[in-house]
Amino acid sequence: MTRNLPCEWGSHQVASSNSEPGDWEWIDFRQPYKDPIVVCFGYYEYPSNAYASIEAEISGVRASGCYLRKGVPGYWGSSSSIVPSSMNVHYFVGENTGTSSEYVLPGTDIPIQVGKFTDTSIDYSVDWSTTETVSLYPAFSDNIAVLASRVTWRNTPQSGNWTSSWACRVLGRTEPPLYSDGNVHIGFNGSRVNTVAEFSTAEIMNYVIIQVGSGSMTYLSGSGINISRTSTKYEVIQGQDAIVGIDNDINGTPELYYMDFSKTPSVCVAHQMSMDGPNGSWAVGHSITPSSIRTYAMEDQATIPERAHINETFGYLIIEDEGYYPRDGPIEFTGAGKMSFHGTGKVMIKDRGW
């Protein structure tokens, strides 16, 4: 038996701000969650390598929403680089699946594992061996994509506690995760910015692990009485060992889809799944087209300005349309013409006041 994961996916343009880092901006989820897990990925079309390294960051995750911002790792006023004025953030939200291995992407047979962990250990340029080991569900039977995001900032980044996230195979940092290992490494990625081996206060990492595949998935769009149930194209990819730094290619490295999308996908969340370069890097997007996504293995400029980087492997979740999938349950009219759709086709009148 499988169950469709309650989830949603979308994008948010972080408002123009030249602060380091940018201001936190609240986004509302399309539905409430018991224990929401959020991962995100940021895009910026760099006009030149004179612009500072940035990353999409998450904080304040609650049942109804979370905060997003444009992070500027290693900057904090000490760099001569130009701070990019904005960032387009793509995100995926799913209910924490806990120990249950029966969840799938809605309307598909693609297994998905959604969870979090708390840790004090930091991987950075002098040591990449302290990652958290996450056990994989037995439902996985093919390659996987691992998406992850740090979601708390209890330790001040300016004091050397900035991190992104990364993942790798349990047998070595230079290889992407392999489902048959039964485990995957996920860690806090301090690159060259970080100067300590541990946080003084533990931080929380969210992760989403999905089996590779492509096809159509079920989703809902709209609101109130205008909700519609339909399908959209999706693809999950474990990419090639090919993504390089911004100094290697200002336009980012292209990763071709296997899926034939009919338009430019609305949402693509990517994440770094190896660490071939000892200096450290994280995933940043350049652009998306109907046939490919261009990304960078982005380095910081905390100690040196160059950002050339050796080939890395990324994982991708690509979805053609923004939308969400609710918990299984009835359609409910809650009054004043409002309706929430929960997927069984049953209708229950809750209030005649409308």
Output the pLDDT for position 174: 96
Strand partners, 215: 234
Terminal C-alpha separation, the chain: 39
Q: Taking a C-beta distance cutoff of 8 angstroms, is the pair 255, 243 a contact?
A: yes
Q: What is the pLDDT of residue 16?
A: 63
Q: Which of 252, 287, 284, 288 is nearest to 271 (CA)?
A: 284
pLDDT of residue 77: 46
State the Cα–Cα distance between residues 75 and 53, nearest whole angstrom.
Answer: 8
CA distance 165 to 70: 15
Query: Which contacts of 251-254 are long-range, i.e. CB under 8 A and separated by 24 or more positions?
Result: 251/286, 251/287, 251/294, 252/285, 252/286, 252/287, 252/294, 252/295, 252/296, 253/294, 253/295, 253/296, 253/297, 254/292, 254/293, 254/294
Enumerate residues 6+ apart whose C-beta is below 8 A from 138: 101
Which CA distances in Å does 153 have to 130, 215, 264, 287? 19, 37, 33, 28
pLDDT digit of tens for each residue in the chain (354 aa)?
899 999 999 999 997 665 566 789 999 999 999 999 999 999 999 999 889 899 999 999 999 999 999 988 876 544 567 888 889 999 999 999 999 999 999 999 999 999 999 999 999 887 888 889 999 999 999 999 999 999 999 987 766 678 999 999 999 999 999 999 999 999 999 998 877 788 989 999 999 999 999 999 999 977 777 788 899 999 999 999 999 999 999 999 999 999 999 999 999 999 999 999 988 999 999 999 999 999 999 999 888 889 999 999 999 999 999 999 997 643 443 344 444 444 444 444 343 333
Query: Do the Cβ atoms of 49 and 129 come closer than 8 Å?
Result: no
